[in-house]
Structure 1
Amino acid sequence: MSTTRPLSRTLLKVCGATTPQDIEAAAAAGADCVGLWHGVPGGPSELDRNGLAALAAAARSTGLLPVLVTFLSDAGELAAIAAHTGVGWVQLHAYQPPALVRALREALPADVGIVKVLHVQENGGCVERPLIGAYDRAGTDLFLLDTATGDGRIGSTGAALAPDRVTALLPRLTRPFLLAGGLTPANRPAYEDVVHHPGFRGIDVDTAARTTTGGFGVPQIAALARAWRTGTGTRHAPLPDHPRLELSR
Structure 2
Amino acid sequence: MRTRVKICGLTRPQDVVAAANAGADAVGFVFYEPSPRSVSIETAAELIRSLPAFVTATGLFVNPERGYVEEVLSKVPLDLLQFHGDETPEFCQSFPARWIKAVRVRNRGDIEQAFRDYFRASGILVDAWVADTYGGTGQSFNWDLIPSVRPLPLILAGGLASDNVAAAVQQVRPWGVDVSGGVESGKGIKHTAKMTDFISEVHRVDETD
TM-score, reference length from structure 1:
0.73
Residue ranges of structure 1 left out of the alignment (5+ in a row): 1-5, 233-249
Instruction: Output aligned runs, 1:1-249, within 5 Å.
Output: 6=1, 9-38=2-31, 40-59=32-51, 61=52, 63-75=54-66, 77-104=68-95, 108=96, 112-121=97-106, 124=107, 127=110, 129-136=112-119, 139-149=120-130, 151-166=131-146, 169-171=147-149, 173-187=150-164, 188-195=166-173, 200-211=174-185, 215-229=189-203
After superposition, what is the alpha-carbon deviation per residue over 1:145-166, rounded to whole angstroms, capped at 9, x for unaligned? Answer: 11112x3322111001222122
After superposition, what is the alpha-carbon deviation per residue over 1:85-131, rounded to whole angstroms, capped at 9, x for unaligned? Answer: 10110000111011112322xxx1xxx4201101113xx36656434
Residue ranges of structure 2 left out of the alignment (5+ in a row): none
Segments of 4+ moved more than 6 angstroms: none
After superposition, what is the alpha-carbon deviation per residue over 1:159-184, rounded to whole angstroms, capped at 9, x for unaligned? Answer: 01222122xx443x321111100112
Q: Using CA pairs below 8 Å that are at least 6 residues apart, which structure has the higher relative contact order?
A: 1
Shift of the alpha carbon at 1:16?
0.5
Instruction: State the number of aligned residues.
Output: 205
TM-score, reference length from structure 2:
0.86
Q: Secondary structure at the match of 2:104?
A: strand
Q: Please tell me whether the aligned partners of residues 36 and 68 of structure 1 are also in contact (alpha carbons under 8 angstroms).
A: yes
C-alpha separation in 1, matches of 2:135 and 2:153 = 20
C-alpha separation in 2, matches of 1:26 and 1:175 = 26
